[in-house]
């Protein structure tokens, strides 16, 4: 039995709170956010009482004060990736374990890189605490799928394609399924993939192909992007010769994004407007629908998986491991659509792995560095069942 402090009360935070409340491993739960009303609204949905608190996750002294008051065994961070380092600093000061779902990003640069957080390894190790990075779906479950494939199916993994499809529809002219600022920064960044120990960069969304998704989803166009799990997987699985990440987008989404980019609304650098400095993308975020409002509107399914090629017993082998998640079923259970659900459930499971010491260490770690078996078992138990097919 353990105490957990959840920081972040958006769509993912709502899922995490629900799933932690369902699991007996979490004895005491505190949900904290900059806006206390969001925490209280989520708390009112749950089957058992939790504590709520207000905190500015950019303010390390405030974080330290809250951590010392709550006395958690683990801080589960599902707020913004800009706040990763502040929360890690607070965990260092208080000697508490840390978990997040996405790598740190600086506000003024769309740069997706683990190095800032890997640089904390020796300090966390010396403090005797653990940080688990990227315990969402991608990154997160996709890393665990790769570790599972290496353990169960391959002597060497040669090629990896992580493929993310949202086959859902919310009916809005233009909206993002998670934080608009993070989503648009990610999509408009240059593509990048790993090939023979080198990184190859491409123009944003300039490389695409068709992929036939399983269980009736069918053929969809997928676009090559860069995603942070490629960095950690190629570091920890050095036999990988090629690693790529792909995502689907509707033609409608891409057309809106093109127009917004052409008029400068996706810029992340400040511009002067009527004597004030504003960041266009942050202003656009204020105009777009709140992702949390899309839950009751979204129909369809997601399909996220890893297509892996490698060698087993001297022979070539190809395996596809994937999960399909239904937007409506996710909303019925936790009041959030499948994008939040597929991130929030693995965050809870990662926390469970740490609190039960099934995953344990001192320092900073990525998901693929631990035994995948207990995590894979919990995915089936807590709402994200997976399928594997040998092709």
pLDDT 10s digits, 315-328: 999 999 999 999 99
| Rounded distance between C-alpha atoms, residue 114 and residue 117, angstroms | 5
Choose among 379, 344, 372: nearest CA to 358. 372
Q: Is residue 324 part of a domain?
A: yes
Give the number of domains in the chain.
2
Same domain, 223 and 268: yes
pLDDT in tens, 168-183: 888 887 877 667 777 7
Same domain, 76 and 159: no
CATH number at residue 79: 3.40.50.720
Q: What beta strand segments (E) does 55-155 contain?
A: 74-77, 97-99, 130-133
Q: Is residue 36 part of a domain?
A: yes
| Rounded distance between C-alpha atoms, residue 81 and residue 95, angstroms | 21
- Domain with 28, as residue range(s), is 2-133
Same domain, 76 and 120: yes
Q: What is the mean predicted confidence (pLDDT) over 57-72?
A: 98
Same domain, 116 and 208: no
pLDDT in tens, 204-219: 999 999 999 999 999 9
Q: What is the mean predicted confidence (pLDDT) over 40-51?
A: 96
Choose among 265, 223, 262, 258: nearest CA to 244. 223
Q: What is the mean predicted confidence (pLDDT) over 250-268?
A: 86
Q: Is residue 310 part of a domain?
A: yes
For Cα atoms 159, 226, 170, give the angle at the middle one, nearest 5 degrees. Answer: 110
Same domain, 38 and 146: no
Q: What is the pLDDT of residue 1?
A: 64
The answer on pLDDT for 280 being more than 90 is no
User: Which of 115-119, 181-185, 246-250, 308-312 is least confident?
Assistant: 181-185
Q: Is residue 165 part of a domain?
A: yes
Same domain, 218 and 243: yes
Determine phi and psi for 242, rounding to 5 degrees.
Answer: -145, 135
The answer on pLDDT for 108 being more than 80 is no
Mean pLDDT computed over every residue of the chain: 94
Same domain, 147 and 273: yes
pLDDT band at 202 (very low <50, low <70, confident <90, very high): very high
Q: What is the pLDDT of residue 261?
A: 84
Q: Is residue 91 part of a domain?
A: yes
Q: Is residue 90 part of a domain?
A: yes
pLDDT in tens, 210-247: 999 999 999 999 999 999 999 999 999 999 999 999 99
């Amino acid at each position: 039995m353990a105490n957990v402090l959840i920081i972040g009360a958006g769509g993912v935070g709502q899922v995490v709170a629900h799933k932690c409340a369902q699991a007996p491993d979490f004895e005491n739960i505190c949900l904290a956010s900059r806006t206390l009303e969001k925490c209280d609204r989520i708390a009112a949905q749950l089957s058992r009482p939790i504590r709520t608190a207000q905190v500015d996750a950019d303010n390390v002294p405030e974080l330290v004060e809250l951590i010392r008051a709550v006395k958690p065994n683990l801080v589960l961070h599902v707020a913004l990736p800009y706040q990763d380092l502040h929360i890690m600093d607070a965990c260092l000061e208080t000697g508490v374990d840390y978990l997040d779902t996405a790598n740190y990003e600086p506000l003024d640069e769309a740069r997706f890189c683990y190095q800032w957080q890997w640089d904390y390894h020796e300090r966390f190790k010396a403090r005797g605490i653990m940080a688990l990075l990227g315990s969402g779906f991608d990154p997160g479950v996709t890393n665990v799928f790769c570790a599972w494939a290496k353990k169960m199916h391959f002597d060497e993994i040669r090629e990896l394609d992580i493929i993310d499809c949202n086959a859902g529809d919310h009916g809005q002219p233009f909206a993002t399924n998670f934080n608009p600022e993070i989503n648009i920064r990610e999509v408009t960044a240059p593509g990048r993939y790993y090939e023979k120990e080198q990184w190859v960069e491409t123009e944003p969304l300039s490389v695409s192909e068709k992929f036939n998704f399983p269980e009736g989803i069918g053929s969809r166009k997928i676009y090559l992007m860069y995603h942070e799990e490629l960095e950690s997987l190629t570091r920890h699985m050095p036999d990988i010769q090629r690693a790529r990440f792909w995502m689907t987008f509707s033609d409608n989404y891409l057309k809106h994004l093109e127009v917004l980019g052409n008029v400068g609304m996706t810029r992340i650098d400040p511009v002067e407007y009527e004597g004030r400095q504003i960041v266009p993308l942050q202003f656009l975020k204020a105009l777009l629908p709140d992702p949390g409002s899309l839950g009751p509107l979204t129909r369809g399914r997601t399909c996220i998986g890893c297509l892996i090629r490698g060698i087993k017993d001297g022979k070539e082998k190809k395996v596809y491991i994937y999960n399909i998640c239904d937007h409506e079923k996710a909303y019925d259970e936790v009041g959030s659509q499948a994008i939040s659900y597929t991130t929030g459930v693995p965050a809870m499971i990662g926390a469970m792995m740490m609190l039960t010491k099934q995953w344990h260490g001192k320092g900073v770690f990525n998901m693929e560095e631990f035994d995948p078996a207990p995590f894979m078992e919990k995915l089936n138990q807590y709402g994200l069942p997976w399928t594997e097919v040998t092709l």
